[in-house]
Amino acid sequence: MTVDDWLANTRTSYDTVAVDYAHLLRDFLAQAPYERAALGLFAELVATVGGGPVADVGCGPGRITAHLGTLGLDAFGIDLSPGMIAVARRDHPNLAFAVGSMTDLSLADSSVAGLIAWYSLIHIPDDQLGGVLAHFRRVVRPGGPLLLGFHVGDETTLKTEGYGGHPMKIHVHRRQPAQMAAWLRDAGFRVEAQTILVSPESRLGGIMFARSAETATARPRGRHAVAPGSGG
């Protein structure tokens, strides 16, 4: 499958389920105290580097973006799916959202104080993940925090239906924390903390905190600002 194929399938799938997805996941975070604690810690880490704009990449309908706003962060959301972005703008009209792909992220170098990808890397194939993380490293200011949420496991499954019974065609990749940490280090991040948990967000979820290296390295430049996979 080419990059264009899986991106197109991901975009179409989440456009199809956007309204029901937002409704079904609306209260998940309220039932997930450990994830709320992780998001609170992320907000504290952003403050320690002086604050500034925070990117929620793969924001879906914007529920995590909105929560970050309640924590005092200047958060904005990015997602591959125009349908998801339309719902995010409807539900959170006071926040900024944009359509785009994390595989071609055109935010300026060192333009965000922190970045979160909340279960939004789950549709990125292994051979594309390094490039995505390199984009994350490029746009996060030196020393800025990165927070990842991802499904833990070893398998890849094809999801053909979901969120209200709508048809979908997306591959869901589950990964081991050690492999995710290795990819992060290769991209120029320093992993600082990680945990595994069970919650409404994931039947087995990984939470990982990393920080961009203080010294910038050569990194890819993108053209379009934003992200595949709807995590928020």
Q: When comparing pLDDT for 63 and 4, which is higher?
A: 63
CA triplet 8, 60, 114: central angle to 5 degrees?
110
Whole-number Å distance between alpha carbons of 22 and 190: 33
- pLDDT tens digits along 61-91: 999 999 999 999 999 999 999 999 999 999 9
pLDDT band at 52 (very low <50, low <70, confident <90, very high): very high
Residue 229: count of CB within 10 angstroms of its CB? 29
- Looking at residue 96, its amino acid is A
118 neighbors 92 (Cβ within 8 angstroms): no
Give DSSP secondary structure letters for 9-22.
HHHHHHHHHHHHHH
- The rounded distance, in Å, linking the Cα atoms of 25 and 42 is 21
Superfamily of domain 3-212: Vaccinia Virus protein VP39 (3.40.50.150)
Buried b / exposed e over 82-104, threshold 16 CB at 10 Å, is ebbbbbbbeebeebebbbbbbbb
Q: What pTM was estimated for this model as a whole?
A: 0.90
Q: Where do the domains of the chain lie? A: 3-212
